[in-house]
Amino acid sequence: MSLVIGLTGGIASGKSTVSDLFRQYNIPVVDADVVAREVVEPGEPALAEIVRSFGEDILLPDGTLDRPKLGSIIFRDEKKREQLNNIVHPVVRERMTAERDRLKKTYPAVVLDIPLLFEGKQLQLVDKVVVVHVDSSVQLERLMQRNELTEQAALDRINSQMSLEQKASKADTVIDNNGTREETREQLEQLLTSWEIIDK
Ligand SMILES: CC(C)(COP(=O)(O)OP(=O)(O)OC[C@H]1O[C@@H](n2cnc3c(N)ncnc32)[C@H](O)[C@@H]1O)[C@@H](O)C(=O)NCCC(=O)NCCS
Ligand SMILES: Nc1ncnc2c1ncn2[C@@H]1O[C@H](COP(=O)(O)OP(=O)(O)OP(=O)(O)O)[C@@H](O)[C@H]1O
């Protein structure tokens, strides 16, 4: 029996940071952001569909997706975001399911890092949900710093998702990532011990 853990949170709340910690305990992580990039590479059907919906201008001269341009459209416009989600999410879900099932054969636990686990209705993919939580001021500050975004662009992204408070209220477990990375690691270790995935 392998436990499938859904890891989620808000943008820049620390999912990748916690994913790296899972990997340090030899627990594999499938990252939805990485899969979402793979499915829109040149030659993929999803990219052709994006061009049909958003126009040729959404491509860079080398034929790859102009991600900043698409981001500037969809993070400000709910209808366009839904349009993009309807193209990308089913393919992402299919690939993640296959990867999950492959890894389940070998590992006692598998993590699916899915930023839109609740919004994208992907809960059926996982057994337990871990939400990485930070206060909104910490989230805004870390996002602006990491992505070199203005406050407005960062807020557009944050507000395009379900609030972190709401996500935390739906979780099986919440990891508080306001503190140091070491404090976050300690919380994860405790969790993995209580779920009997690692021995203390
Ligand atoms: C719009 C795109 C091209 C912008 O690319 P960019 O390189 O700037 O961002 P990146 O892909 O690294 O995403 C960063 C974060 O933005 C948030 N985010 C991405 N897409 C969405 C969305 N459709 N709705 C809400 N938040 C989103 C997530 O928290 C994600 O971790 C890209 O995010 C995309 O293709 N999004 C649609 C696919 C998707 O929903 N991905 C999320 C995981 S399935
Ligand atoms: N405990 C921490 N202390 C200080 N900085 C942190 C901590 N956790 C994460 N960070 C920093 O905050 C930023 C966001 O973290 P991370 O990339 O892990 O978030 P994420 O949830 O994976 O983001 P995204 O939704 O965009 O994929 C990064 O620059 C990271 O280095």
Q: What is the model's pLDDT at position 30?
A: 98
Q: What is the model's pLDDT at position 113?
A: 98
Q: What is the model's pLDDT at position 1?
A: 82
- Examine the pLDDT at 72 and tell me if it is beyond 90: yes
For 159-175, what is the mean pLDDT? 97
CA of 13 to the centre of ligand 2 (A): 6
Is 67 a member of any domain?
yes
Ligand 1 binding pocket (C-beta < 6 A) is 11, 32-33, 36, 67, 70-71, 74, 81, 84-85, 88, 92, 115-116, 157, 160-161
Is 155 a member of any domain?
yes
Is 78 a member of any domain?
yes
Average pLDDT of the chain is 96
- Examine the pLDDT at 96 and tell me if it is beyond 90: yes
CA of 138 to the centre of ligand 2 (A): 10
Please tell me the total count of domains within the chain.
1
Q: What is the model's pLDDT at position 121?
A: 78
Is 199 a member of any domain?
no
**Tokens encoding 162:** 């379900």
CA of 179 to the centre of ligand 1 (A): 25
Which ligand is nearest to the Cα of residue 80, counting in written order? 1
Which ligand is nearest to the Cα of residue 114, counting in written order? 1
Query: CATH code at 42?
Result: 3.40.50.300
Is 169 a member of any domain?
yes
Is 27 a member of any domain?
yes
Distance from CA of residue 103 to its chain's centroid? 19
pLDDT in tens, 12-52: 999 999 999 999 999 999 999 999 999 999 999 999 999 99
- Examine the pLDDT at 181 and tell me if it is beyond 90: yes
**Percentage of residues in the chain having pLDDT higher than 90:** 96
Is 200 a member of any domain?
no
**Residue span of the structural domain in which 136 resides:** 3-194
Ligand 2 binding pocket (C-beta < 6 A) is 9, 11-17, 33, 115, 142, 146, 177, 180-181, 184
Q: What is the model's pLDDT at position 15?
A: 98
Q: Which helix (H) or strand (E) holds 67?
A: helix 67-74
For 191-200, what is the mean pLDDT? 91
pLDDT confidence tier of residue 88, bands split at 50, 70 and 90: very high
Amino acid at 76: R
**142 contacts: CB under 8 Å, gap ≥ 6:** 12, 14, 134
- Examine the pLDDT at 200 and tell me if it is beyond 80: no
Name the pTM for this structure.
Answer: 0.95
- List for the chain the helix, strand, coil content (%; round to 5): 55, 15, 30
pLDDT confidence tier of residue 199, bands split at 50, 70 and 90: confident
CB atoms within 10 A of CB 132: 28
**56 contacts: CB under 8 Å, gap ≥ 6:** none
